[in-house]
Amino acid sequence: MASSNRRAALYARVSTDEQARDGTSLATQRERCRAYIAAQGWDCAGEYVDEGVSGAKASRPQLDALMSAASTNAIDAIVVAKLDRFGRSTRHLANALGDLDDWGVAFVSIAEAFDSASPSGRLQRNMLGAFAEFEREQIRDRMMAGQRATVSAGYWPAGPPPHGYMIVQKGAHKALEINEAEAEGIRVATAVIVDEGGTVGDAANRLNGLGFRRRKSGRWSRIALRRRLLADHWSGEWTWRSGTEAPV
């Protein structure tokens, strides 16, 4: 098929932790891909967009649909604004782009200025894929090192606090302090079981009757309360990742 008659589909992606900045926002990616397809005189055969999905994931709803279209000869080319929008894992890129080569579907990255229809374009594509994965691993290592330092200093790294605690700002860091409203519920449940000899179910009923509620799920159940009472953070320590402990 002549290049001027190529049926090209664009693919765009943004993850949940990426800001809507130039070159990353979905609107910008789509605009660039549309302009490129129009400039080549190709026909736009579809737009596939994954929002809030990491590039490290090999399986994404819209990417899966795009690869399905490619495998059935519904498109002749895939256009992305930048290679890392398609994927950051070398293994995933190698597998996916290898499939596209087998199906005779060209892959175009606008930022890196290559078209995999040529041998040199495929070589450049593979090299850039390796660099994209290296960059992702470097970013992950830096984030992990920062979180490890935060934990070692006794501060809260990220995420919601365990039941019975709340997050407070301590300078540039976050720390845990007792949430008195939630802690009182735990004290009541403990008294029912320890002082009154009741069951966990009795304690759950007492909490519900007194108006104590779970954060998101409403009423207490026996199973949910048992899980909370057996949590290890009541000792004053919490576990972060591979056995790393820090004081609450």
Q: Which residues are catalytic?
A: 15
3-state DSSP assignment of residue 55: coil
Exposed, middle or buried: residue 240 (CB in 10 Å: 0-12, 13-18, 19+)?
A: middle
Task: Please answer whether residues 40 and 8 qualify as being in contact, where contact means their C-beta atoms are separated by less than 8 angstroms.
Answer: yes
Q: How many CB atoms lie within 10 A of CB 65?
A: 15
108 DSSP β-pair partners: 79, 115
Q: How are beta strands 43-51 and 7-14 bridged, if at all?
A: parallel
Query: Residue 37 to residues 10, 25, 119: CA-CA distances in angstroms?
Result: 8, 19, 21
Helices (H) and strands (E) in the chain, counts: 8, 9
